[in-house]
Every structure is written in structure tokens, then in C-alpha cells.
Structure 1
Amino acid sequence: MNRLYHYPLSPFCRKVRLSLAEKKIEVELVEERYWEKDPDFLRRNPAGKVPVLKMGNRTMADSTAICEYLEDAHPTPALLPATPEGRYEMRRLVAWFDDKFNAEVTTKLMGERVFRKVMGTGYPDSTNVKAGAKAIKYHIDYMTWLLDQRRWLAGDQMSLADFAAAAHLSCLDYISDVDWNRSEVVKDWYAKIKSRPAFRSILADQVPGFPQPAHYADLDF
């Protein structure tokens, strides 16, 4: 059995889960409190980060490296565009969400509202929360600009760029930190992603101490 060591509200884990599910690769989910630095987990990934995917005798870390491995090993359905230009744009946007969006939004909202509590590191820093709430507006506006020109974020076909963005936004949506009324275009895009069978396990996530908002698993918002 394939096994994914993950944390439910990690966008990097969710990106891998979406890729696995889209490719219909069955996997056992093992929740890992990676911040506790369990020695067994550190042997799987000395960096001490999730996700970690075990497939057969191979143990793999880093969400983007895992997703591209899955694409090479299981190319159907394709999540990377066919052209070099398309692949460049997809990789650029994956980096945008996993680096820039993560630093400016996810770590400031999820990090303060959720991870401070689960890790026991104190109370939320209101300055960070306000900065994240301001920054997400800019990112939603940028997504609106992209989607005004394209069917999906990186082009005319769904790709890992869409899964990277949806992974971050779905985590924030779990704590009601996305203003879906800011952009009908982005809301419609997310509704398409949210309705895919690959998204079902993510919509079923339950995190102790953080109940789902009523709209979270509603495909019609």
C-alpha cells in the first residue's frame, strides 16, 4: 500500500493528495505532527517536513518533486502542459503559490490562526493576520487577471498550477479566510476544482479544534 505522511491543513500535502487522487492512485493517509520531530519521521525525511510519500521501496519528499515524479511515472491524466512554454508557465505559478502566496498569505493566516494553537506556540499575532488578510486580496485579483485570459490558471488545460492554488485556498477556506465575493471568476474556477472527484477527501477533512464552516464542503458554496 502506498502511504502519504501528511497534515490535513498543509497546502503542500493537499497538492500531492490532489495529484494522487486525480491519477487514481490509492494511498493510505497517515497524519504526521511533523513539528514534534519524531525520530521515525525524521528518518523518512531529515528535513522534518511533510508531505512524505512512500511507494514500494521508494520514499520521497518535497511536494513539487513528488508531483513531478507522479507525472513521469503515471502520465495519464496529464497535469503538466504538453509544450515547453506551457510547462514553464505551470512551474512559474506553482512556485508563485508555494513561495510568494505561502509567505504572504498562508503562513500569516493559517500559521497564526491554526498552527500556533496546534503547536502550542502562543496566541495569534494580529499584525500578521492583518497583513495576510490584505495580501490575499492582491493574489485573488492576480488570479482574476489570469483567468480572464485563460480557462485555467496556466492555460487552457487544468494543471498542477491549479492544484497548487486550490490547495492553499482550500486550507484558508477551512478557516473562512477567503472572500469568494471578491471575484466571481475565481469563485467559478474554485467551484470547478472543488467539484472534481479528486477533491472529495479534502472536503471530508476534519481537524480537531477547528470545525468546518458550513460552506466548506458545499459544492454550490
Structure 2
Amino acid sequence: MRMLHHFWLSAPSRKVRIALREKDIPFETTLEKPWEQRPELLALNPSGEVPVLVEPQGFALADGQAICEFLEEVYPQRPLMPREVRARAEVRRLIGWFDGKFAREVTDTLVGEKMIKRMTRRDTPNSALIRLGLSSIRHHLAYIGELAERRRWLGGDEFSLADITAAAHLSAVDYLGDVPWSECEPAKDWYARIKSRPSFRPILADHLPGAPPPPHYADLDF
């Protein structure tokens, strides 16, 4: 059976989980705590990071975007990339935005400071960085709202990896209750459509021991 090594609040891990279910590809999961640097994980991915997907043939794939590109090429049913060249470029731009800029300014800051440091007990949260992350997410949410007002989905007319990538990051931050949804109705409406997709339900069912999500997290109507 295909095995995905993941961590609950890892946005790249969530991205792969959603993509696999969108394509109706069967898989099982095994939980990793990347900071533990298990030899078994390092043998699969020398960086010690998740996600890592081990295919039934036994070979391992690492990096969330690399895994999604592999799935798109090998399992073309239910495509997650548009056919038209310029549309594909736009989806790739947005994937880069969320996996790069959003991750640096929001996900890594808020999840890293508020949750990962708590779980590892190696350091105390940096309140200045948390304030910066809470400020940055407002700008990103406004941008998502602008895209959602102009397009059916973030990347264009079709649901794509751009939506999956954005939702993977936002859901990790939303687990902490740090997404100001009331400030941007278009972004909230777009995310409500994401939450209603069957592929997203296991994400909404995630519960970290000792750190439950806010009540609205799994509520399809917020």
C-alpha cells in the first residue's frame, strides 16, 4: 500500500493528502514528528522533512510540490492543473506564492512559534514574530479575496493545485484560530467551498493531542 509520512500541521503534508484524495488514489498515513529526525525518515528523505510518499513499488518521493507534480503526471485522472499554457503558468505562480511567501510570512511563523515550539519544548514563542504573522495574514487574506472575486477559483475557472496549496496553508493556521475570516467575506466564501469538498474532510478531522482546534474549524458554515 502507498504510504504517506506526514505531520498534522505541515502544510505541504496537507497539500499532498488533499491531492491524493482529489485523484481518488488510495494511501495510508504514518505520523512523523520531523524534529525527532527518526533514522527511518532520514533514510527516505535525507532532509528529514515531511511529506514523504512511498509508492507501492517501494521508491520514495519527497517535497510536497514534487510529489503533487508526480501524481499529476502519473495519475492524470481528475487533473489538478489546467490544460492551457498560460493558465498553468498562473496556477504555478500561485503555488509558489503560497508555498513561498505565505509560508515564510504566515504559516512558518504562526504554526512554528505557537505550536511547534510548544510541542518540542525547545524554546519559548517569540511574541514579536507572532504579531508579525498575525499582521501579514491580513494582507494575504485580502489578496485571496481579490482573486476569489474575479475568478471562480483562485487560479481560474477550474479547481486546481493553487486552491489546494492555499487551503493547505490556511487550514494549518486556522487550526490555531488565527485566520480573521470576518474581515474578508470573498475569501471566507471561497474557503467554505473548499471545506465542503470530500477530499478536505480528513483535514478537518485532524485533532492534535492536548491542542484541539477552535469550534469553527470543522464547521462547514463557519
Q: State the TM-score, normalizing by the size of structure 1.
A: 0.98
Any gaps of 5 or more consecutive residues in structure 2? none
Query: Residues of 1 paired with 2:133 and 2:106: CA distance?
Result: 4
Structure 1 residue 75: deviation in Å?
1.1
CA RMSD of aligned residues (A): 0.8
1:68 aligned residue: 69
Match of 1:9 in 2: 9
Deviations 1:51-106 (A, max 9, x none): 00011222100100100110111112110011111111111101100110000011
Q: In percent, how many aligned pairs have the same letter?
A: 49
Report runs of 4+ in structure 1 exceeding 2 Å deviation: none
Aligned equivalent of 1:184: 185
CA distance in 1, matches of 2:46, 2:148: 38
Is this contact kept in 1: 2:146–2:186, CA < 8 A?
no
Partner of 1:106 in structure 2?
A: 107
Q: Unaligned regions of 5+ residues in structure 1, if any?
A: none
1:171 is matched with 172
Match in the other structure for 2:84: 83
Q: Deviations over 1:185-213 (max 9, x none)?
A: 10010000000000111111110121121
Superposed CA offset, 1:12-63 (max 9, x none): 0000000001111111110001111111110000011100001122210010
Distance, in Å, in 2 between the alignment partners of 1:175 and 1:208 is: 14
Task: Output the CA distance in 1 between the equivalents of 2:101 and 2:47.
Answer: 21
- Report the equivalent of 2:31: 31
1: distance between equivalents of 2:207 and 2:145? Answer: 30
Match of 2:40 in 1: 40
Write the letter of the residue equivalent to 1:184.
E
Tell me which amino acid in the other structure corresponds to 2:21: A
Q: Which residue of 2 aligns with 1:97?
A: 98
Number of residue pairs aligned between Structure 1 and Structure 2: 221
